[in-house]
Structure 1
Amino acid sequence: MSLSGLLITLVIGAIAGWLGGLIMKGSGFGLLGNIIVGIVGAVIGGALFGMLGISTSGMLGSIITATAGAVILLFIAGLIRRA
């Protein structure tokens, strides 16, 4: 992965993690937390969208996919935390 690819991945992860945090909790998790949640969310969202036959392209599609995965990740984490 090139340096520019890594930077784009980190930016998308940060945006998706921040959006996921806003949707599920009402605030973000700090820069590092947002990046981690966003990147893990991208993996979850990509797998889920792939199983559903939904394809996205471009940076906006990547942000949507990663945000959807981040919301799912935070929802599951909230269920586990309450149990």
Structure 2
Amino acid sequence: MPQSETELMLSGYGLTTAEMFYRMPDYQSVLNSYVWQDYDLAPDYPKLFGFIEFWQDKIEGPLHSVRFCHRKLISPGEWRNVVQEITLH
């Protein structure tokens, strides 16, 4: 059963963005890029690695490299201890 994005974020998922560089099947010296984005769980990244396996099995363009970043969009609020308050006029 698919969950909403908010339910995924509340259960620990974060937004993972991956940029994949791959070689053209007919022109091996040409590199292209593909950007993939989904909600995934760190540090195992099952959806990202599942997509990479799919790419290697089903797509003819061999991967050159993959770089990715992960960010939790719902996190604890920042807290700051204020010791003194100064009022001017």
- For normalisation by structure 2, the TM-score amounts to 0.31
Q: Larger Rg: 1 or 2?
A: 2
More helix by share: 1
More strand by share: 2
